[in-house]
Structure 1
Amino acid sequence: MQVLQVQLDVGPDPAEVGRARRWARSRLVGSGIGPDEPLAETLILLISELVTNAVVHTGAAAVLRMCFSGAGAVVGTVRVEVADASARPPRQRHADGDDTNGRGLELVDGLADRWGWQQEGAGKRIWCEVDRGQPVLVASATGTELGRLSSVAR
């Protein structure tokens, strides 16, 4: 099995989230994942959520890493990792109705095949994985659709 790993340093500015999405799109295409594949949209949403959480909740720089594993030129699993300087564990919240915040980790839980976190030095690393062979949903979920999507995505 081959593993390709790419990494981007993300500054502590929320505008960096857009740059991380653009960078990730180019790396997905370079790995053989088409820009119109539902997998690409799902991964971009996951990246956006994890990078936003790191930048907004820590106010510090972060590191985005994507790992592509598979056999030959076929990508099987994509792992997204975001490391930040905060040792505070991630906390999954449950947003109500019109809340504009609090859905990030719910989306990660609903769209990723696996996710978790671990302490890393003085900070932490949050990761998620998506298997290419699994059914992947187009990343357009709202909070009210999330429960239904969670059961379908697994």
Structure 2
Amino acid sequence: MISQGQVLPAISLTQLAEDGMQTLTNDDLFAAKKVVLFAVPGAFTPTCSNAHLPEFITLADKIKAKGVDAIYCVSVNDAFVMKAWGEAHNAEHIQMLADGDASFTKALGLDKDTAGFGGVRSTRYAMIVEDQTVTGLFVEKDKEFVVSRAEAVLAQL
């Protein structure tokens, strides 16, 4: 598993933007930026939709006021689902990123097998990344939702 102080592995994530599908690299997402990234097991799932994403939406201005350039939400879903999920929650201040084949999640060592739920998914976590280096990592224990909450991350900024 990736740890604090490590540089993110070379990755690409996708995003469905107004002008079509975009493939974004580490340089696009993290170079010369301070970013909060949070990951969820699945778009439109109960905790993710009722608490995790909404809390980051509510606190986005306070998070950005701490010098954060961008807030990213990542899930092992496709870019179409992530765009629809963001729109359903009015997440205009959160960049919704798809890790469709779980390659980013696996490269971080934060994947889990949820065969009965949907196959390979992400562990619930949040991280602070500064110029591609992880400066804060908050990984939830299974079936918990404490350390990756928006309020907990805000307190670490």
TM value normalised by structure 2: 0.31
Which protein is richer in helix relative to its size? 1
- Higher relative contact order, structure no. (Cα contacts within 8 Å, ≥ 6 residues apart): 2
TM value normalised by structure 1: 0.31
Indicate the structure (1 or 2) with the bigger Cα radius of gyration: 1
